């Protein structure tokens, strides 16, 4: 990463997590250059970049200031905890996922990064070699908890992050969704309460529906509102929380370490389990991988779930849960459902991840996604009317777009479908009764004329609808 990009990232994180408040003056170019050891030119170019991203503004002869972060302002309404006793979201998700396979311009709606970014010929060669030359597979790998070498690698990655982990703590699953599924299955019984962020990956709503859980949501649109979180834990007999705190899908934010530490403390105080969905953990743009809540968890209240599918593609959908004390129970559930995860793919991943190529691959995709996300952001910002707000966070590959007041994102989604274009409307991530004014776009692709045309079209619709409302 270039030095100026490091500065951009560091300041962006401080703005995103609220350490740098709206209208705070940034350090002078000279002061920041001295502090970091970088040149004044590097700092100036970083400040200009932050300005282009809409995160800071320049005042003549006064320097650079943090732009108003109105929509990121912390919500403090602790009453806004909501209960939905009967969740029905699966059919809606089904229709949307079908649309992704049937419509021509579906990449904006996809949940996966551009396959061209993730494609790795060495991985493919490893898979091919395993398929061609390996005569047999150890039968134990066709049984839970999965391939021992792969589990050792995953355990080692946790340990490197300061989370001491043994291979036996890990259960290999068919992707993160399977890991999340199994975790909820062992932690809950129908009718239990689950606490979710008010905007959350639709998988959480689907599984709440599947397991007959009562859903409580708390406001958490651009950080975690700890007051509301604690109020919910106090008020309801919550069995389990499902939280996404790194590179949140769909919004994109990463929660500060202080907040994560506090969450771990509250879980222990209220004796509530956390299913931590950390599927985008490797897609950070800064220098260090953000820690999960798991890091702060002293008493095993957290089951941490992740997978390779967002970094190696849907073709390598293998995930895991750091199950700890629940490892046996999860394996029992696996025996009654998928039984095992494809052993051939597990061998190939165990082999590939043991080489330096895996870390190199991760570095490359981070750098490519960072560039593409910025390019999308700038292009979309230039095209959409100013009344739209685009939330940019420095990780992952989603942009979350807020429409003007009177425009409904479900209506926009349906209109665009008629023109063969798929976006992801907020109704998939929120209670259906919530006001639907956002949509998510996948910005992992190379910006091109086709995207310009699509966003010009979206802009035209928004302006037309705005003028009649
Ligand atoms: C937030 C989140 N969690 C979990 C998953 C499921 O991951 P996997 O494809 O590894 O099952 C996804 C996939 O889109 C996701 O976005």
- State the distance from the centre of ligand 1 to the C-alpha of 192, rounded, in angstroms: 23
286 lines ligand 1 (CB under 6 A): no
Check the CA dihedral 68-258-251-86 and report its sign.
negative
| Statement to judge: residues 331 and 370 lie in one domain | no
| Residue 107 maps to a domain | no
- Looking from the CA of residue 319, the nearest atom of ligand 1 is 10
The whole-number pLDDT of residue 458 equals 98
Count Cβ atoms below 10 Å from residue 65 Cβ, excluding itself. Answer: 16
| Residue 258 maps to a domain | yes
| Residue 112 maps to a domain | no
Count Cβ atoms below 10 Å from residue 246 Cβ, excluding itself. Answer: 26
Domain count, the chain: 3
Q: What are the residues facing 82 on neighbouring strands? A: 217
- State the distance from the centre of ligand 1 to the C-alpha of 30, rounded, in angstroms: 44
- Name the residue with higher pLDDT: 369 or 86: 369
On the CB side of 23, how many CA atoms lie within 13 Å of its CA? 2
Of the candidates 300, 193, 305, 201, which has an alpha carbon nearest to the alpha carbon of residue 241? 193
| Statement to judge: residues 253 and 391 lie in one domain | no
pLDDT in tens, 271-321: 999 999 999 999 999 889 999 999 999 999 999 999 999 999 988 999 999
What does the block give as tokens for 380? 């979309």
- State the distance from the centre of ligand 1 to the C-alpha of 90, rounded, in angstroms: 15
| Residue 271 maps to a domain | yes
| Statement to judge: residues 59 and 134 lie in one domain | no
Give the gyration radius of the chain's Cα atoms: 22
Could you tell me if 216 and 238 are in contact, meaning their C-beta atoms sit under 8 angstroms apart? yes
- Name the residue with higher pLDDT: 364 or 18: 364
**Helix or strand holding residue 291 (H, E):** none
Express as a percent the part of the chain with pLDDT over 90.
69
The whole-number pLDDT of residue 71 equals 46
Range 13-25 average pLDDT: 77
| Statement to judge: residues 261 and 277 lie in one domain | yes
Burial call 249-286: b when 16+ CB within 10 Å, e when fewer: bbbbbbbbeebbebbbebbeebebbbbbbbbbbbbbbb
Q: What are the residues facing 197 on neighbouring strands? A: 218
Residue 98 has pLDDT above 60, yes or no: yes
The whole-number pLDDT of residue 84 equals 74
> What are the phi and psi torsion angles at 395 (to 5°)?
-170, 165
Of the candidates 188, 165, 185, which has an alpha carbon nearest to the alpha carbon of residue 324? 165
| Statement to judge: residues 340 and 443 lie in one domain | no
Range name among 126-140, 201-215, 323-337 with the lowest pLDDT average: 126-140
Residue 433's domain is classified under what CATH number? 3.90.1150.10
Residue 138 has pLDDT above 80, yes or no: no
DSSP class of residue 106 equals -
Residue 56's domain is classified under what CATH number? 1.10.10.10
Range name among 93-107, 197-211, 371-385 with the lowest pLDDT average: 93-107
| Statement to judge: residues 370 and 326 lie in one domain | no
- State the distance from the centre of ligand 1 to the C-alpha of 402, rounded, in angstroms: 23
Q: Are strands 193-197 and 214-218 parallel, antiparallel or unpaired?
A: parallel
Which of these three, 357, 381, 397, is where a domain ends?
A: 357
244 lines ligand 1 (CB under 6 A): yes
Spatial distance between the Cα atoms of 345 and 318, rounded to a whole number of angstroms: 8
Q: Ligand 1, from 172, 177, 440: best to mutate by most atoms within 8 Å of Cβ?
A: 177
What does the block give as tokens for 171? 């259960």
3-state DSSP call for residue 442? strand
The whole-number pLDDT of residue 17 equals 64
| Statement to judge: residues 50 and 172 lie in one domain | no
| Residue 187 maps to a domain | yes
Express as a percent the part of the chain with pLDDT over 70.
96
Range 324-336 average pLDDT: 96
Spatial distance between the Cα atoms of 54 and 70, rounded to a whole number of angstroms: 12
Which of these three, 72, 107, 132, is where a domain ends?
A: 72
Q: What are the residues facing 236 on neighbouring strands? A: none
110 lines ligand 1 (CB under 6 A): no
pLDDT in tens, 160-181: 999 999 999 999 999 999 999 9
Query: What's the length of the chain?
Result: 469
What does the block give as tokens for 146? 């999965």
The whole-number pLDDT of residue 105 equals 87
Residue 76 has pLDDT above 70, yes or no: no
| Statement to judge: residues 68 and 172 lie in one domain | no
| Residue 102 maps to a domain | no
What does the block give as tokens for 298? 């002293």
Residue nearest to atom 14 of ligand 1 (CA): 111
Spatial distance between the Cα atoms of 7 and 17, rounded to a whole number of angstroms: 16
Range 89-113 average pLDDT: 90
| Residue 125 maps to a domain | yes
The whole-number pLDDT of residue 117 equals 94
First to last CA, the chain: 46
| Statement to judge: residues 421 and 278 lie in one domain | no
Residue 73 has pLDDT above 50, yes or no: no
| Statement to judge: residues 183 and 215 lie in one domain | yes
Residue 137's domain is classified under what CATH number? 3.40.640.10
Q: Ligand 1, from 112, 154, 175, 254: best to mutate by most atoms within 8 Å of Cβ?
A: 175
For 407: left if phi > 0, alpha if psi spans -120 to 50, otherwise beta; the answer is: beta
Which pLDDT band holds residue 81 (cuts at 50, 70, 90)? low
Domain assignment of residue 37, given as a range: 3-72
| Statement to judge: residues 131 and 267 lie in one domain | yes
317 lines ligand 1 (CB under 6 A): yes
- State the distance from the centre of ligand 1 to the C-alpha of 291, rounded, in angstroms: 18
Q: Ligand 1, from 97, 181, 203: best to mutate by most atoms within 8 Å of Cβ?
A: 203
| Residue 94 maps to a domain | no
Residue 468 has pLDDT above 60, yes or no: yes
Range 353-382 average pLDDT: 96
Which of these three, 321, 340, 357, is where a domain ends?
A: 357
Q: What are the residues facing 83 on neighbouring strands? A: 216
| Statement to judge: residues 309 and 414 lie in one domain | no
Could you tell me if 176 and 279 are in contact, meaning their C-beta atoms sit under 8 angstroms apart? yes
Q: Ligand 1, from 201, 245, 281: best to mutate by most atoms within 8 Å of Cβ?
A: 201
Show Cβ contacts of residue 355 under 8 Å, excluding neighbours closer than 6 positions: 122
- State the distance from the centre of ligand 1 to the C-alpha of 97, rounded, in angstroms: 13
Spatial distance between the Cα atoms of 66 and 20, rounded to a whole number of angstroms: 7
Helices and strands in the chain: count of H runs, count of E runs: 17, 14
Geometric angle at alpha carbon 113, from 112 and 114, rounded to 5°:
120
- Looking from the CA of residue 307, the nearest atom of ligand 1 is 10
Which pLDDT band holds residue 467 (cuts at 50, 70, 90)? confident
247 lines ligand 1 (CB under 6 A): no
- State the distance from the centre of ligand 1 to the C-alpha of 467, rounded, in angstroms: 38
Spatial distance between the Cα atoms of 397 and 415, rounded to a whole number of angstroms: 24
396 lines ligand 1 (CB under 6 A): no
Burial call 26-62: b when 16+ CB within 10 Å, e when fewer: bbebeebbeebebeeebbbbbbebbeebbbbeeeeee
319 lines ligand 1 (CB under 6 A): yes
The whole-number pLDDT of residue 1 equals 57
111 lines ligand 1 (CB under 6 A): yes
DSSP, residue by residue, 65-112: EEPP-GGGSPP--TT--EEESS---HHHHHHHHHHHHH-SB-GGG-SS
277 lines ligand 1 (CB under 6 A): yes
């Amino acid at each position: 990463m270039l030095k100026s990009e490091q500065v951009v990232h560091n300041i962006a994180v401080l703005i995103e997590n609220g350490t740098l408040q709206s209208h705070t003056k940034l350090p002078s170019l000279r002061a920041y250059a001295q502090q970091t050891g970088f040149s004044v030119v590097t700092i100036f170019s970083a400040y200009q970049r932050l300005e282009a991203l809409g995160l800071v503004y320049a005042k003549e002869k006064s320097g650079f200031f943090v732009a108003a972060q109105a929509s990121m302002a912390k919500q403090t309404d602790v009453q806004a905890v909501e209960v939905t006793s009967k969740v029905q979201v699966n059919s809606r998700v089904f229709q949307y996922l079908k649309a992704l396979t049937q419509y021509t311009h579906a990449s904006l709606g996809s949940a996966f990064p551009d396959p061209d970014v993730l494609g790795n010929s060495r991985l493919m060669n490893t898979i091919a070699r395993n398929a061609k030359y390996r005569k047999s597979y150890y039968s134990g790998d066709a049984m839970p908890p999965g391939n021992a070498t792969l589990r050792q690698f995953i355990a080692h990655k946790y340990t490197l992050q300061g989370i001491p982990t043994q291979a036996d703590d890990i259960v290999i699953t068919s992707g993160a969704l399977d890991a999340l599924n199994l975790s909820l299955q062992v932690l809950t019984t129908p009718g239990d309460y689950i606490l979710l962020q008010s905007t959350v990956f639709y998988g959480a709503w689907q599984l709440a529906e599947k397991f007959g859980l009562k859903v409580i949501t708390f406001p958490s649109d651009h950080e975690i509102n700890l007051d509301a979180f604690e109020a919910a834990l106090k008020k309801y007999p919550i069995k389990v929380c499902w939280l996404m705190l790194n590179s949140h899908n769909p919004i994109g934010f990463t929660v500060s370490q202080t907040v994560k530490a506090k969450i771990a403390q509250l879980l222990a105080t209220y004796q509530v389990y956390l299913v931590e969905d950390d599927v985008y953990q490797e897609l950070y743009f800064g220098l260090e991988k953000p820690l999960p809540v798991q890091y702060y968890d002293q008493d095993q209240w957290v089951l941490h779930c992740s997978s390779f599918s967002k970094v190696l593609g849907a073709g390598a959908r293998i995930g895991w849960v750091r199950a700890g004390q629940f490892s046996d129970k999860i394996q029992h559930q696996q025996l009654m459902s998928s039984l095992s995860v494809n052993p051939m793919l597990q061998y190939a991943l165990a082999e590939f991840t043991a080489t330096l190529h895996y870390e190199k691959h991760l570095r490359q995709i981070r750098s490519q996604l960072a560039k593409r996300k910025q390019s999308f952001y700038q292009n979309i910002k230039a095209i959409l009317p100013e009344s739209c707000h685009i939330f940019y966070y420095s990780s992952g590959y989603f942009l979350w777009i807020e429409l003007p007041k009177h425009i409904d994102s479900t209506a926009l989604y349906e209109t665009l479908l008629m023109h063969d274009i798929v976006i992801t409307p907020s109704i998939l991530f929120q209670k259906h009764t919530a006001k639907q004014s956002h949509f998510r776009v996948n910005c992992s692709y190379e910006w091109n004329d086709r995207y310009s045309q699509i966003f010009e079209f979206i802009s035209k619709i928004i302006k037309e609808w705005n003028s009649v409302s």
